[in-house]
Structure 1
């Protein structure tokens, strides 16, 4: 029953993430349309709405839409390089499942297909998230090898590190890299 509730919670978190992203996108689109249609002549209204709208991306910051955009961008880049692997969402050590949880991604080589979770919105204060992520010894405790494979800029001065981790305590002695 607990597993079923956790799966439902996970599904709802993904749905909320997508709705927040879409809401912000539509809000920006509406604001741009309003700004573009200040001239009320028939011809102007029709053409200005079509010619002045440009695809808008959410800000790359700590807002939910910004986090989702960064996660989707990172996931797209990562999955373009992760063909032939299976991606599994893993709970950050010490975090309870739920709206305040942070996740990390584990990759198993030799599996068919790719499955991934784009983003779990983080309900924690950004400074608390940074504290947890900077406390690497707490989530490296079973690693026998760690390698930073890529560092991505977030556009607001932050970075996202793509890590290759081999753990010594995986199932049946198999070591899996973690990101």
Structure 2
């Protein structure tokens, strides 16, 4: 029971901090200003680790490698602590952390699309709505080219969610195959 509680708490902490780092990376890539509430939240959560890493890992064009490495370090810490608690599997920690980072990326994309879909039904006028629109638009664009509106409803978020779920299943199966 103690292990399960610890694993859950580590997953929540690594998911929140690592997800914020990945969101920072994606927002910078999309050139979304950080003056909005989402940007300020992301900066508050990640500045303490990303800024020192940026001194060692400079960005390239629109890619912020410090944010990516910070997200990986959170996953590495999570699985490293769990390996210490189990007392074995230390050599697999970097690979498991890489898969954890992929799962975190997919989960974050799923979360963004779900929030986008909900906000599109409500049509709330807030700075968060604009940020979510700008973050999801590049992911939804290819689907919108293929899938027409059905009765005035945009089904592209549903198609993207299905594809992301398939990707999550593939990543989980690959991880399971490597760990066996």
Relative contact order, higher structure (CA 8 A, sep 6+): 2
Please identify the structure whose Cα radius of gyration is greater.
Answer: 1
Give the alignment's TM-score, normalised by structure 1: 0.25
Give the alignment's TM-score, normalised by structure 2: 0.25
* Larger strand proportion of the pair: 1
* Larger helix proportion of the pair: 2
